[in-house]
Amino acid sequence: MIAYTRSRDSASDQEYIKVPFKGHSLIGHPIYNKGTAFTREERIAFELGGLFPERVSNLEVQKKRNYERFSAKNDDLDKYIYLGDLQDRNETLYYALILDHLAEMLPIVYTPTVGKACQQFSHIFRRPRGLYISCTEIDRVDDMLACAPFSNVSLIVVTDGERILGLGDLGAGGMGIPIGKISLYVAAAGLHPAFCLPILLDVGTNNADLLDDPLYIGVRKKRLTGQAYDEVVEKFVTAVHRRFPGVLLQWEDFGKNNAFRLLERYRERILSFNDDIQGTGATAMAVLLSAMKIKKERLRDQVVVLFGQGQAGTGIGRQIHTGLMLDGLSDQQARDRIYGVDINGLLVEGMPVAEEQQLFVKSRQQVAGWKLDNPNRIGLLDVIRNAGATVLIGVTGQSGAFDESVIRAMGENSDRPLIMPLSNPTVKAECTPEFALNLLNGRALLATGSPFKPVRIGGKDHFISQCNNLYVFPGVGVGALICQTHKVTDEMFMAASRALSDQVPAADLKAGHMLPAIDKIRAVSAQVALAVAIQARDSGLGRLASDAELLEQIHAAMWTPAYLPYRAV
């Protein structure tokens, strides 16, 4: 295993990269390959003579060539495959191209297209990326981690493939999610790809279609559960900590029954967080903070209904609960303003609920006297009407769940209700922005999980904020690594929410934007990272450094794709 290193010449002050490969081995390594941009001197020094056409190219020309081919693809999945092939050939070019076309390519690299890619993963698999840790060989986990491309890994994104977006159990196909999240880390926060490692923890699948698919690439048996599952995870985490001390481990798209357990079990043992729970909560919280600025109201005066009590719903609820208390409410007062609705209706005492849902359970006394459509069940519409909801958040994956009666009821409770159909991909959204805005004649504020175009009503464009975790998790990750904290706290995520909301200019707020423009993502990530580092420092969990020093180190850690000179090791 080699280490990726960048050095600086003491005499010329020129930065260069130490390269341990030559010839075909060099051009076959996506981190080091420059393709036609190898200089004449490098072609001689690294034994590349005759392997490329005579003319030496550059990054700009290569980007034009590859964007032309990308644009010629008519299908989003074909575009995803094309970009994946480019990433496997030349990562510098891949990221340079994405940064030039962020708004266009992020929906291809990640949601919504990544969902299709995960569903078809076994059929479009070309070249291995990251590591596949199989439960059948977990006793060899140290050997498998030793196969990582580089020894100086600082970030791992891991999934077991059980809850991929809103698509459910996709087994080994879930590897598309860590691969995509790594791409977002690099594009948004500038972590160098050599320091990032996607991992699929393959514990089987309960997806019958996959088990029957002769092309399925994963472990062909039912998912491990209980103690057998826990032993696999324990061996994995222990080995990761042993091989890569100081690494940040991001849990991604684990099933509801495991996600909360694993987060709580390991957050004190290894630097880690769960983006589906904490990142989603922090991003949604930033939207609420921006909405309060637009509405000129206080967070403490809102009534929030969370439709869906999985990881995302519970994570959002926890973050809002924290925000309400920071706005002056007591613990109980904050609980009283959040209503959790699941498949069986409002969470009320006496119902079977998971431990993480207890925060939002209402007493029977609290709902006594409510007027209900069905006396045996308190449904979503009942809650909106009786509680006087001003904020409605959907994370159910149920397309159309926010129907006309639901939207109109929200409009009766507030002049400018905040409606957030966050389920993705797009086809899973609880409603479309166009549907909600047309019903309320443009009065609502909308934030969605997937990208939607502006909606024009009465000659005015209403902008739709995409509540994309991309705004939070890369900055949180970089901030945690820079400040050298040993754990990521809820307060750090709250600091990230505030920093994110503060990056929306006043003029954009006035126009209805609740999150910054996506093409500002690197500047946004830097400020989120700074807020996390400052919170860690001030709470005694991060190293001592001034705000200016922390920001300087954050910027220094942010890689910009460019071809540097090469020197042989």
Residue 110 annotated to the active site: yes
Local structure of residue 275 (DSSP, 8 states): I
**Distance separating the N- and C-terminal Cα atoms of the chain:** 14
Report DSSP state, residue 276: I
Q: Three-state SS across 396-429?
A: CCCCCCCCHHHHHHHHHHCCCCEEEECCCCHHHC
Helix 404-413 vs helix 380-387: crossing angle, to nearest 10:
10
> Rounded to whole angstroms, how far apart are CA atoms 477 and 480?
5
Strands (E), 286-362: 304-307, 338-342, 345-346
Name the maximum alpha-carbon separation found in the chain.
84
Cα 271 from Cα 187, distance rounded (Å): 22
Residue tagged active-site, from 181, 256, 362, 428: 181
Q: Of 444, 387, 388, whose CA–CA distance to 421 is shortest?
A: 444
Q: How big, in percent rounded to 5, are the helix, strand and coil portions of the chain?
A: 50, 10, 40
Task: Look up residue 479 and give its amino acid.
Answer: G
Sheet strands side by side (includes 338-342): 345-346, 338-342, 304-307, 391-394, 418-421, 445-448, 465-466
Q: Is 80 one of the catalytic residues?
A: no
Residue 312 CA, distance from chain mean position: 12
Q: In a 3-state reduction of DSSP, which class is residue 155? A: strand
- Pull the structure tokens for residue 491: 């307060």
CB 422, CB 394: distance < 8 Å? yes
- Angle, alpha carbons 19-24-28 (nearest 5°): 75
Active-site pick, 95, 110, 185, 266: 110
CA–CA dist 164, 166 (Å, integer) = 6
3/141 Cα distance (integer angstroms): 20
Type of residue found at 298: R
CB neighbours (10 Å) of residue 549? 12
The strand pair at 304-307 and 338-342 is best described as: parallel
B/e letters for 557-566, b = 16+ CB within 10 Å, e = fewer, are: bbbebebeeb
Unique residue bearing structure tokens 């910054």: 516
- The Cα–Cα gap between 20 and 33 comes to 12
Tokens found for residue 404? 């006309």
Say if strands 345-346 and 391-394 run parallel, antiparallel, or are unpaired.
unpaired
Question: CA 16 → CA 90, 95, 185, 222, 319, distances in Å?
Answer: 18, 19, 23, 49, 43
Helix (H) / strand (E) containing 48 = none
Residue 288, Cβ density class (10 Å: 0-12 exposed, 13-18 middle, ≥19 buried):
buried
Encoded amino acid at 84, one letter:
G
Catalytic (active-site) positions:
110, 181
